[in-house]
Amino acid sequence: MALIGKDILYAKKLLEKGELVSIPTETVYGLAANALLPDAVVKIFEVKNRPYFDPLILHVSKKDDIERYGKNITTIIRKLIEHFWPGPLSIVVEKKNIIPDVVTSGLPTVAIRMPNHSLTLSLLDSVNFPLSAPSANVFGKISPTSPQHVEKQLGNKIKFILDGGKTLVGIESTIVRVNREKLIILREGAVSAEDLAEITGEMPEKIKTQKITASGQFEKHYATHTPLKIIRPDEDLNNYTNKHIVFLRFKEYLSSVATDFQRVLSFHADLHEAAKNLFQYLHELDEMNADLILAESVPDTGIGRAINDRLKKAAASH
Ligand code: TXA
Ligand code: MG
């Protein structure tokens, strides 16, 4: 059992000793280590059972920290930071030598973000190192949006979960990099392509490559224990009659099924609300020990694309 509490000083002490602490952010809970201590960072990979080739995001508490840990910061990056930080945008830049190779899996670049959560920003301000933090789940499983989710997956492996309540955004940060003045999305997330285009003046590209540079690029991820399948809103459910099925719905209950076996992401059809509820509801449906989760996809625009991306990867895991 991990302790769940709001004691920043205790979190600071553990991190200074090279131990791991789970931290709240606006997106999902992170599993944090002192990013400048390779021995501490290695523990993240061990505890999550995460492959060492999957690099970590560096969390900082000041916009200027991009210069402290990154190099060749272009105008477009500065603009993005000015607009989106603190917030759910991770930016990949060339790294300075102070960042250990274990953080970046040997890449010459590092992903950096300033999370928008007051407790974690205070914690970061109280220490003199940045925090490496992937999502605080076992590798490949559903991301945690509450201290209880972290406790369930990692509670026997870490000492402390800093309690910042339920996360407000609920879906991971968008990861971008700039290539020849063009913005490229490496992982879709809470900041949509449209949001980015408003600042840069053109729609970003979405990377399509075999080489894995972001966990969003693994085809299988966000796996529930229960098999998950995506259905079209108009699909005939008689194809699935002899199973105990639970449902993830976008904006309304299915009238033919008891509501206990359903979760509705947003009764207002609000995609931000849907993102916020996504992982919580996947955790809840998974705990019903059904034979199958049937998930309806959401409109494929804005943050809806990030939601559909998570659902597709959850479905591909089975
Ligand atoms: O919202 C978030 O981003 C959350 C919270 C805790 O901040 N963190 C998160 O981390 O989702 P994680 O580890 O689950 O996903 C981060 C992804 C990794 O899969 C990694 O491949 C990518 O960021 N990444 C890190 N450094 C990179 C780099 N130098 N180049 C390309 N991708 C990178
Ligand atoms: Mg993750």
Ligand 2 centroid distance, CA of 293 (Å): 21
Cα 31 to chain centroid distance, Å, stands at 11
> Which residue's CA is the nearest one to ligand 1's atom 10?
134
Looking at the CA of 142, name the nearest ligand.
Answer: 2
- Adjacent-strand bridge partners of 110: 93
5 CA to centre of ligand 1 in angstroms? 25
Distance 48 CA to ligand 2 centre (A): 10
Whole-angstrom distance, CA of residue 161 vs CA of residue 124: 15
Residues 285 and 246: beta-carbon distance below 8 Å? yes
Residues of the chain with pLDDT under 50: 210
- Supply the pTM of this predicted model: 0.94
Contacts of 29 (CB under 8 A, 6+ apart): 22, 23, 135, 136, 143, 144, 145, 146, 147, 149, 150, 161, 167
- Distance in angstroms (rounded) separating the CA atoms of residues 204 and 257: 41
pLDDT at 221: 83
Which of 215, 221, 310 for a ligand 1 pocket mutation test, highest count of atoms within 8 Å of Cβ? Answer: 215
Residue 55 CA, ligand 1 centroid: distance in Å:
7
> What's the pLDDT score for residue 103?
98
Determine contact, residues 201/193, Cβ cutoff 8 Å.
no
| Ligand 2 centroid from CA 240, angstroms | 31
Classify residue 108 as left (phi > 0), alpha (psi -120 to 50) or beta: alpha
Task: List Cα–Cα distances, 84 to 64, 91, 114, in angstroms.
Answer: 14, 11, 9
Q: Determine the angle formed by the axes of helices 118-126 and 8-16, rounding to 10 degrees.
A: 50
Q: Which-ligand-closest: CA of 133? A: 1
Query: Strands 205-206, 109-113: parallel, antiparallel or unpaired by DSSP?
Result: unpaired
Pocket of ligand 1 (CB under 6 A): 25, 27-28, 30, 54-57, 88, 90, 92, 104, 107, 109-111, 115, 133-135, 172-173, 175, 186, 213-215
Residue with the smallest CA separation from ligand 1 atom 21 is 214
Distance 75 CA to ligand 2 centre (A): 29
Give, for 198, the enclosing helix (H) or strand (E). Answer: helix 193-200
